[in-house]
């Protein structure tokens, strides 16, 4: 999958929305763990998946590792996380190319969405 310049995407979004009630998009930080975990638990419950401590710590570690295939974004209003997204490259043998896989949501609205086919340019 072609490298996505996340810093440029985030900066563009935040610049475009600076006059609206501020919802900032950024990469997750260590201090976000507790709020992220609350979101992640709701996400797992939605899909009826039992989380384990090992799985939680592994996933969080991946999100904190900028070189890992799994990447994340959070939406923040003030000090509160209001949304999250996890995304990763995924090879598609039927397409003969890499595509992206995205899962995201906003637990406050119980709005979970997924898209499994974001083609690389």
Question: Chain-wide mean pLDDT for the chain?
Answer: 79
Give the angle subtended at the CA of 115 by the CAs of 31 and 34, to the nearest 5°: 15
Structural domains present in the chain: 6-18+26-119 (3.40.630.30)
Contact yes or no for 82/75 (Cβ under 8 A): yes
Q: Of 71, 117, 72, nearest to 97 (Cα)?
A: 117
Alpha helices, H only, the chain: 6-16, 33-46, 53-64
Is residue 97 over pLDDT 60? Answer: yes
Mean pLDDT value of segment 11-22: 60
The secondary element (H helix, E strand) that includes residue 98 is strand 97-106
What is the predicted pLDDT for the residue at 78? 87
Is residue 87 over pLDDT 80? Answer: yes
Is residue 109 over pLDDT 60? Answer: no
Q: Is 71 exposed, middle or buried (0-12, 13-18, 19+ CB in 10 A)?
A: buried
Encode pLDDT of 25-59 as tens digits: 899 999 999 999 998 998 888 889 999 999 999 99
């Amino acid at each position: 999958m072609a490298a996505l310049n996340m810093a440029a995407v985030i900066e563009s979004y935040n610049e475009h929305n600076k006059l609206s009630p501020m919802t900032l998009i950024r990469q997750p930080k260590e201090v976000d763990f507790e709020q992220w975990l609350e979101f992640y638990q709701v996400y797992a419950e939605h899909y009826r998946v039992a989380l384990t401590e090992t799985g939680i710590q592994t996933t969080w570690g991946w999100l904190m590792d900028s070189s890992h295939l799994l990447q994340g974004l959070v939406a923040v209003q003030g000090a509160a996380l209001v949304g999250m997204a996890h995304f990763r490259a995924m090879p598609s043998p039927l397409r003969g190319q890499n595509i992206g896989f995205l899962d995201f949501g906003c637990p406050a609205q119980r709005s979970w969405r997924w898209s499994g086919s974001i083609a690389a340019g």
